[in-house]
Copies of this chain bind each other. A is one copy, B any other.
Amino acid sequence: MRPLVHPAIEAIRPEAILHALSDPSRAAIFARIMGAGCVEACASVSTLGDRVIPKSSLSSHIKVLREAGLIRSERHGVEMRNHSRGAEVEARFPGLLGAIMNAYASEDSAARAAADAGAAEGQTPSA
């Protein structure tokens, strides 16, 4: 158990943020942490939609988010509390997180609409 590493706000690099959020699973995890009053244990994000994320994968996703500077993790007894650092990142890179999370949100709603339309016609949506 090596100590948790959190980059200082001025050491956060845009490429790390983009890389961290370029994985839809990680983006979804981050969205939950941002949305859930800024605190969320790892266990509570272990399923995404209908997909189960293995513990070891989840642990490394959380680590990537932490080392990118997107979240701050603290051990509280046996569990881990993950806080969003969204406000700090927003101050350093204005508009970045909002635009990224918006892009995913609009993508999701478009995909859902397409799936619904396909289901209504009794078809799978065309790839």
Q: Which residues of A contact B (CB under 8 A)?
A: 10, 13-15, 17-19, 21-24, 27, 92-96, 98-100, 102-104, 106-107, 110
A19 CB to closest chain B CB, in angstroms? 4
With known contacts A94-B102, A99-B95, A99-B96, A23–B15 Cβ distance under 8 A: yes
A21 touches B24 (CB 8 A): no
Q: Decide: B95 and A98 in contact? CB cutoff 8 A.
A: yes
Which residue of A23, A24, A92, A93 has the most chain B CB atoms within 10 A of its CB atom?
A93
Q: Which residue of chain B has its CB nearest to the CB of A93? A: B103
Pair A107/B27 contact, Cβ less than 8 Å: no
A15 touching B10, Cβ below 8 Å: no
Among B21, B93, B95, B102, the residue within 8 A (CB) of A18 is B21
- Write the nearest CB–CB distance from A115 to chain B, whole angstroms: 14
Q: Can you list 17 A-B pairs, Cβ within 8 angstroms, ordered by A? A: A14-B100, A15-B27, A17-B103, A18-B18, A18-B21, A18-B22, A19-B19, A19-B22, A22-B22, A93-B99, A93-B106, A94-B99, A94-B102, A95-B99, A96-B99, A96-B100, A96-B103
Q: A21 CA to B99 CA in the complex, in Å?
A: 14
